[in-house]
Amino acid sequence: MSVDMRTYLAHVELINPITTAAGCASSGKELAQFFDLNRIGALATHSITMAPRAGRPTPRVAETPSGMLNAIGLQGPGIEAFLERDLPWLSQRSVRTIVSIAGGTVNEYGTLARRLADAPGVTAVEVNLACPNIEDRGRVFARDGAASAEVISSVRALMRYDVPVVAKLSPDVADIVAIARACVDGGADALSMINTPLGMSIDTETLRPSLAAVTGGLSGPAVRPLAVRCVWQVHAALPGVPIIGVGGVLTGRDAFELVLAGACAVGVGTALFHDPYACLRVLRELEELLQARGFQRLADAVGLAHRPPGSVSRHRTDPAPGQGASNMEESPL
């Protein structure tokens, strides 16, 4: 018997929990060479900015143990070209699309939301908060609860009511729960975590930083323990909020780990560079793992590791709570 893999981002149903991670599947066309994008829960775009951006100079990537550093610098064609070319391409194919947006001011995020508000084919908007706030001496939004909340409420106010707004959080903060709470209070319908923590490597031949941009974001399996911890902490504190777990997912086991920690959807990023079929493989492996453990529905596994030991029933048949069951932490069992 197959497992019911459906999940919800707020009220929006996804056929399964696997999404691409923002910025790791370019505009979608490249990935579509390998498989039909409708087979995954959703495709997250790279972060769309107002103007076209050439990004950072090369080298942009450095391999690190079980991970990589990147400083792409949000290269992209800008919102107009995105709306004219990339989004229609996706929406014509009915690809469920999470549009990631990035800005340098609260206003810019708002303007992006307004431009997206009447575009067809936007399944959800993900707000990439890992951008420096040029109005606050370049302090990164994601490291400041108040600034994050301001961005989210501006986006929430300007985006169509039926499109969920997802706040994408970074792990390099002292208290991820505080930031998550601020975003939810600001109107976030869901959270996505983690974005890449800031890292660096130095080339011991040239004696210079490996990346042209000096520092870069660390991704890949190396950061998975940080992602699991963030998802766990936030799900414990805010059990009703849907979480897209992202960070170091290579296999179905890894996705399952994030689900057990509290994620109702799972983003696959760096793994796509290694294996263009990673999303489908992770989906299949996750389903097999759930099946092998007697789960009938993905929803029943969300946050399950929070239950006290011994209380885990592997063969639930009772109906799960309405909203994607991400609040199972509170359910009795």
Partner 1 sequence: METPVTPVQVTGTVLTTRRVEAYHALTVVAPGIAERFRPGHFVAVAVGGPQTSMLTRRAFSVHDVKPDYGGTVEFVFTVRGPGTSWLAGRRARDTLDLVGPLGRPFPLPRDPVSCLLVGGEYGSATLFGLADALQQRDCRVDFLLGGASEDRVFGALRARRMGVTTTLTTEDGSLGLRGTVTDALPGVITDTRADVVYACGPMDMLRGVTAVSVEFDIPVQVAVEEAMACGFGMCMTCVLPVIGDDGVTRMVRACVEGPVFRGERVRFDDVGTIPFDALGAPGAPGHSGARHVS
Ligand X SMILES: Cc1cc2nc3c(=O)[nH]c(=O)nc-3n(C[C@H](O)[C@H](O)[C@H](O)COP(=O)(O)O)c2cc1C
Instruction: Determine, following the binding rule CB under 6 A, whether residue 97 of this chain makes contact with ligand X.
Output: no
For residue 202, what are the β-bridge partners?
A: 209
Instruction: Determine, following the binding rule CB under 8 A, whether residue 71 of this chain makes contact with partner 1.
Output: yes
Of 30 and 330, nearer to ligand X (C-beta) is: 30
Residue 131 annotated among the catalytic residues of the structure: yes
27: its two tokens: 């505009």
Interface segment toward a copy of itself; rule CB under 8 A; list 59-67, 100-108, 129-137, 319-327? 59-67
Asked if 109 and 117 count as a contact pair (C-beta separation under 8 A), the reply is: no
Q: What is the spatial distance between Cα 180 and Cα 298, in angstroms, rounded to a whole number?
A: 24
Instruction: Determine, following the binding rule CB under 6 A, whether residue 100 of this chain makes contact with ligand X.
Output: yes
Each residue 101-140 as x (binds a copy of itself by CB under 8 A) or -, in order, gives ---------------------------------------x
- State in angstroms the smallest separation of the CB of 186 from partner 1: 19
Prior bond of 179 cis (ω within 30°)? no
- State in angstroms the smallest separation of the CB of 176 from a copy of itself: 9
- State in angstroms the smallest separation of the CB of 328 from partner 1: 26
Q: What is the spatial distance between Cα 45 and Cα 24, in angstroms, rounded to a whole number?
A: 8
From 10, 62, 72, 260, residue interacting with ligand X (rule: CB under 6 A): 72
Query: What is the amino acid identity at position 251?
Result: T
Instruction: Determine, following the binding rule CB under 8 A, whether residue 32 of this chain makes contact with a copy of itself.
Output: no
For the chain, the residue count is 333
Instruction: Determine, following the binding rule CB under 8 A, whether residue 271 of this chain makes contact with a copy of itself.
Output: no
Q: Tell me the DSSP string of 125-155.
A: EEEE--SEETTTTTEEGGG-HHHHHHHHHHH
Interface segment toward a copy of itself; rule CB under 8 A; list 22-30, 41-49, 94-102, 199-207? 199-207
For residue 97, what are the β-bridge partners?
A: 43
233: its two tokens: 């902490």
Out of partner 1, a copy of itself, ligand X, none, what residue 110 binds, judged by CB under 5 to 8 A for its kind, is none
**Residue list 155-184, contact with ligand X (CB under 6 A):** 168
Of 163 and 250, nearer to ligand X (C-beta) is: 250
- Terminal Cα distance for the chain, rounded: 24
For residues 36, 261, 245, 192, the Cα torsion angle rounded to the nearest 10 degrees is 140
Q: Tell me the DSSP string of 256-303.
A: HHHHHHT-SEEEE-THHHH-TTHHHHHHHHHHHHHHHTT-SBGGGGTT
Q: What is the spatial distance between Cα 312 and Cα 301, in angstroms, rounded to a whole number?
A: 10
Q: What is the spatial distance between Cα 25 and Cα 32, in angstroms, rounded to a whole number?
A: 9
**How many Å separate Cα 329 from the centre of its chain?**
21
Handedness of CA 211, 216, 220, 222 (dihedral sign): positive
Of 16 and 327, nearer to ligand X (C-beta) is: 16
| Residues of the shown chain interacting with a copy of itself in the complex, contacts defined by CB under 8 A | 64-67, 69, 140, 143-144, 171-175, 197-202, 204, 206-209, 214-215, 218, 220-226, 228-229, 232, 248, 253, 256-257, 260-261, 289, 293, 304-305, 309, 312
| Residues of the shown chain interacting with partner 1 in the complex, contacts defined by CB under 8 A | 23-26, 30-31, 33-34, 46-47, 49-61, 63, 65-78, 102-105, 108, 128, 130-132, 134, 140, 142, 170, 195-196, 198, 212-213, 215-218, 220-221, 270, 272-277
| Residues of the shown chain interacting with ligand X in the complex, contacts defined by CB under 6 A | 21-24, 46-47, 70, 72, 74, 100, 128, 168, 195-196, 217, 219-220, 223, 246-249, 268-271
So which residues are the catalytic ones?
131
